[in-house]
Chain A
Amino acid sequence: MAEHAVQVNPALELPEHASRTRHGVLLEEYSYDDAIVRKFLLVTVVWGLVAFLVGLLAALQLVVPSVIAYTTASGARPFAFLSILSSVEFLTFGRLRPLHTNAAIFAFAGNAIFAAIYYSTQRLCKTRMWSDTLSNLHFWGWQLIILSAALTLPLGITQGKEYAELEWPIDLLIAVVWLGFFGTNFFMTLKVRRERHMYVALWFYIATIVTVTMLHVVNSLAIPAGLFKSYSVYAGVQDAMIQWWYGHNAVAFFLTTPFLGLMYYFMPKAAERPVYSYRLSIVHFWSLVFIYIWAGPHHLHYTALPAWASTLGMLFSVMLWMPSWGGGINGLLTLRGAWHKLSDDPVLKFFVVGITFYMMSTFEGPMLSVKSVNMLSHYTDWTIAHVHGGTLGWNGFMTFGMIYWMAPRLFQTKLYSKKLAEWHFWVGTLGILLYVIPIYVAGITQGLMWRAFDQNGTLAYPEFIETVTKLMPFYWIRVVGGTLFFVGAIMLGYNVLRTWMSRPAVYEVPVLRTPPIQPLEVRRPVFHSRLHANTEFGHAGDVFIQNVQNAWWHRVLEAFPLRFVFWAIVAVAIGSLLELIPMFAIRSNVPTIASVQPYTPLELAGRDIYVAEGCYNCHSQMIRPIWAETKRYGEYSKPGEFVYDHPFQWGSRRIGPDLAREGGIRSNLWHVLHLQDPRQASPQSIMPAYPHLLSQNINFDEIQTHVRAQAMIGVPYGEAVKDGRSQELARAQALSISQDIAKSEGPKDLDNKKIVALVAYLQRLGTDIAKPAPDATGAPTQPAQSQDSKGGAKPNLSRKD
């Protein structure tokens, strides 16, 4: 750096916190802010324990009903207390599962990447974070977000979009904390850095911050309907596109790029040698950033999404193989010539297995995106296994490795027990394997059972429940695997706690001295033609060639690495958004169906309950155009059927059957009894019980507000938006349903209970395309023309149940 530093007259007065070398080079004094890293590190451990514990509870919820049924049948009830997991309103699977995913992604992984970024950015930039205040606002703001998520999700306050469940006030807070506090602080730190070259890890961090901001803002656009309720401005197919563009890129830019930055910083640290190939790391970065953002539509194969869009998503997913494996190999080969350290260092063990899981997941992901594989894997546990290989293996183990490396350095002491860390590694690895392998088997088993036909061409397993009970042994092994992973995390917690307890009374804060970056002077050299007796054109050509060879212009670019990388990523982000807009926002991409009408006010209230209870976590509403599915569930779903679905509820996993054509198949009473306790209707069911829906009242006053909010985003509610009209309509419909229930000897006086609204919604699902289309006055006239010429107007609603 010295050659860049300007020679200044030593007699001049020195600025504060600066000194000079004996050659008169100005040195600025600074120290790193490790207090903020310590904070993020500690909460990472705490939230990690919470996230794993909630995940374990969710895993238990899927097996507990079968235990209770078995023990009840045999007369003994030693496990009856476990029924708390499937009948307490706030602890049902539909509410706990979002809590688990949000805690794992945003609390555990989120705080881990903040710890990594605050530690490495300061050191790579040779400066303290730009503002300690912003660092702390970021820390406390993020914990506040996590706390509000932990409170609202069990209460059923949700937007009903996977990994983006948090309601709008929390969404606003996320935007402020992420970009306003964290982003500003990070970019200003880059601006005041004392190392001209921005190490590749910083590039990954920049991509993370820019892209997550965009994803979050675009996907969370919603119209509030009260403090704790909002409706996505997108509907149906478009909402699905946006949601999975978000969902996939949350994986890319929240769980991949920041962890790759972490890998490129901490892996060399732990291995005590530079990364295998710095050039490869740059190619890795740019190809990931370019390709990842397009891959989202692969989550929607064979759905009502246009086929070309999902094929495009598949192609880009397959292309991701190359950079992902290039990056993984780059990380592993950093250990070249130092593999022997692996036997002695738990940190390296965690990193090597973490990177291996990164490579396995990024091999498997593109494979799952291939349509023919996806046809089998989609809606099954295969997805769950894939995701947990990535999160437990890659995110979890990279985080654990980083914590074991940082803890002794941050707390300025020895790690309490290296042996315990080794145990954590082995227990954790075994836990992952015991989780992932049986769930793969479960996924493939269930997928094959769903599509199996017998010799007569009828479904071999017409009862959905058969394909669920078959999975119970695998679900039990998963509980064991999850427990082991959790036990490993407890070992980590104890180790960190004891390390922290042996910290010094006062932390040493080393003062560092580095010269500031001097502006790079780029002078454009003047070249003269080296040719004799040539044409003007020849001389000009020679000058041009010399210019290119000298590459002074290249230095111009290099003088602005921050601006270049920042704007390139912004361009990529905006470009990809523009690329996707025609898919999700142009109306002609969604053919309308004349007979599809908005939900009635009561059905809308029922839909709100469906969303609040998180039914989409286990039930899809999307029948793919596959023989096995149309045979089981009825006519396949059309894009035009979802134009009033704010938000869409297609779901991603069928722990229970698809509900897209549920309407009209069963009686109102069946639904009431089934929701009150699913075992009354289907003895082996693992669905939670919802007795509270029979006792809680519908808030009719809210319905008017909700209808108006829907009308604002384009749902044609006509005169239902008038004061009190929605309530009247809702009460009338509720009364007629409750009378029907009472008439069939069911519970009486349900006309103001939530269950009636939910039943109204369920009975409406998928029925519209069979109805006649209304004329301009709203009265039905003639049969609807579906956009599908063959059989669209006369859907096959027969269903095995």
Chain B
Amino acid sequence: MRLSDVMSGLGLAIYPILAMSLFLFVFVGVIVKVLRKRDRAEFDRAAMLPLSDSTPSNPRRDRAS
């Protein structure tokens, strides 16, 4: 008995098709969500997140003051 015998016996043929459909479904959903106009403000706010974490952006200047 080998691993490939076990795998052959499992009847996995349907899963690749399911997986592919799942991918497409999620991907299209994401694209639709991203392109929706009403989320623009939310995206703009999200884009600012790295700049709004109260870390000094210039330690030299900030420490000197």
A residues engaging B (CB < 8 A)?
120, 123-124, 126, 195, 197, 199-201, 233-234, 238, 264-266, 268-269, 272-275, 278-279, 282-283, 286-287, 290, 408-409, 412-414, 510, 512, 551, 554, 568, 571-572, 574-576, 578-579, 581-582, 585-588, 590, 713-714
- Interchain CB contact under 8 A, B16 and A124: no
**What 0/1 pattern do residues 5 to 22 of B give for CB contact below 8 A with A?**
101100011011011101
CB-defined contacts of B60 to chain A, threshold 8 Å: 408, 414
- Interchain CB contact under 8 A, A578 and B15: yes
CB-defined contacts of B26 to chain A, threshold 8 Å: 286, 568, 571-572
CB-defined contacts of A714 to chain B, threshold 8 Å: 1-3
With A282-B30, A283-B30, A414-B59 as given contacts, are A585 and B4 in contact (CB-CB < 8 Å)?
yes
- Interchain CB contact under 8 A, B12 and A582: yes
- Interchain CB contact under 8 A, A290 and B27: yes
Among the interface residues A199, A264, A575, A582, which one has the most CB atoms of the partner chain B within 10 A? A575
Q: What are 24 A-B contacts defined by CB distance under 8 Å?
A: A120-B50, A123-B55, A126-B53, A234-B3, A268-B51, A273-B51, A274-B50, A278-B47, A279-B43, A283-B31, A286-B26, A286-B30, A412-B63, A414-B60, A510-B54, A568-B26, A574-B19, A578-B19, A579-B20, A582-B12, A585-B4, A587-B4, A587-B7, A713-B2
- Interchain CB contact under 8 A, B45 and A282: no
With A408-B59, A585-B3, A586-B8 as given contacts, are A278 and B43 in contact (CB-CB < 8 Å)?
yes
- Interchain CB contact under 8 A, B51 and A269: yes
- Interchain CB contact under 8 A, A272 and B57: yes
CB-defined contacts of A200 to chain B, threshold 8 Å: 46
- Interchain CB contact under 8 A, A512 and B54: yes
A571→B24 CA distance, assembly (Å) = 12
A512→B56 CA distance, assembly (Å) = 13
The smallest beta-carbon distance between B37 and chain A, in angstroms, is 11
Report which of B20, B27, B42, B57 forms a contact with A197, defined as CB distance below 8 A.
Answer: B42
- Interchain CB contact under 8 A, A197 and B49: yes
The smallest beta-carbon distance between B3 and chain A, in angstroms, is 6
With A409-B55, A578-B19, A586-B4 as given contacts, are A265 and B50 in contact (CB-CB < 8 Å)?
yes
- Interchain CB contact under 8 A, B44 and A278: yes
The smallest beta-carbon distance between A296 and chain B, in angstroms, is 15
With A124-B49, A409-B56 as given contacts, are A279 and B20 in contact (CB-CB < 8 Å)?
no
Report which of B3, B16, B54 forms a contact with A233, defined as CB distance below 8 A.
Answer: B3
A664→B16 CA distance, assembly (Å) = 44
A286→B34 CA distance, assembly (Å) = 11
CB-defined contacts of A287 to chain B, threshold 8 Å: 27
The smallest beta-carbon distance between A219 and chain B, in angstroms, is 14
Among the interface residues B12, B18, B50, which one has the most CB atoms of the partner chain A within 10 A? B50
The smallest beta-carbon distance between A341 and chain B, in angstroms, is 12
The smallest beta-carbon distance between B54 and chain A, in angstroms, is 6
